[in-house]
Amino acid sequence: MEVADMTMAALMSGRPAVVPVLLRHGLACPGCAMAPFMTVREAAEAYGLELGPLLDNLTAADRHPALSAEIG
């Protein structure tokens, strides 16, 4: 499944390295009650963020977990 269509909860539990990136982008998804129900695409829209750059940073963090805190 494409990252954009994963729910936030599935993304965070499958790829914990993305959590700092989400926080850097100002997303309150970690720990949020809505995370199991909203996709990455919907979250980007709700926060008024461009989907493309967000996805780039999320996949980059997932490839280099140690760097994830530096990205965003």
Instruction: Dihedral sign for Cα 59, 65, 67, 68, please.
Output: positive
Q: Shortest Cβ distance from residue 67 to another protein (Å)?
A: 27
Binding mask 2-31 for another protein (x = CB under 8 A): --------------------------x---
Taking the least distance from each CB to another protein, the nearer of 1 and 33 is 33
Within residues 33-62, the interface with another protein by CB under 8 A covers 33-34, 36-38, 43, 46-48
Distances (CA, A) of 54 to 10, 33: 16, 21
User: Which are the contacts of 38, defined by CB distance < 8 A and separation ≥ 6?
Assistant: 7, 8, 29, 46
Q: Whole-number minimum distance, CB 42 to another protein, in Å?
A: 8
